[in-house]
Structure 1
């Protein structure tokens, strides 16, 4: 496993820890957090799986001949998909990290009561 994959797993763990420290989570309103950050969580897990798959495939390519440069069409396609998903992953992760710092998630408020009344 590469250091990059390990760092992505740690980043997901830190994001989850920041979710767990919110008032919304401690009160038991997991659905509210999940609906707000569903896309970020799905993209994070998908990006980690995609990164590990890409790195494993790359290691299998260069394992037998480390100085050869041979990328198949499938590897190029997976690499391109990885880069596209990376842009989405970094955008949504940064957005989630900024949104979770909102004081509305860390204390009881009228906003939370409104969110619960719409459910």
Structure 2
């Protein structure tokens, strides 16, 4: 069963990709340039989504088998803490990527794009 947070994460990744697709850089075929600029954000979004789905699946599986039992084991605490730690990085990098994508350089032809061609 997918929780609302997982649906929101899928929506966030979809919106980020739509923002990439609407840039001038993507439309002229410089996908590699966008990927290099936002690689960490994209990878962390996918990792965070996988951790969220894993945590929610584990939580629901244990809770359904014994709803009145305390099930926060040490392993669950570690996984939960890892999930929350990655969440901080995910939301920071997503916000930074969203603000960086608002830069007009990504939506028009400029000398900045020409300089990117000349880099090795």
CA distance in 1: counterparts of 2:69 and 2:7, whole angstroms: 27
Of the structure 1 ranges 62-71 and 45-54, higher mean CA displacement relative to structure 2 is found in 62-71
Aligned to 2:17: 16
TM-score (norm 2): 0.96
> In structure 1, how many angstroms separate the alpha carbons of the residues matched to 2:81 and 2:14?
26
C-alpha separation between the residues in 1 aligned to 2:52 and 2:23?
29
Q: Which runs of 4+ in 1 moved over 4 A?
A: none
Q: State the match for 1:41 in structure 2.
A: 42
Query: Equivalents in 1 of 2:23, 2:115: separation in Å?
Result: 18
Q: Does 1:73 align with 2:101?
A: no
Whether 1:86 and 2:91 are equivalent positions in the alignment is no
Structure 1 residues 40-119: aligned runs within 5 Å: 40-119=41-120
Runs of at least 5 residues in structure 1 that lack an aligned partner in the other structure: none
Specify every segment of 5 or more residues in structure 2 that has no aligned partner in the other structure, as ranges: none
**TM-score, scaled to structure 1:** 0.97
SS in 2 for 1:63: helix
Residue-by-residue CA offset, 1:50-76 (whole Å, 9 max, x unaligned)? 000000000111012212222121111
CA positional deviation for 1:18? 0.3
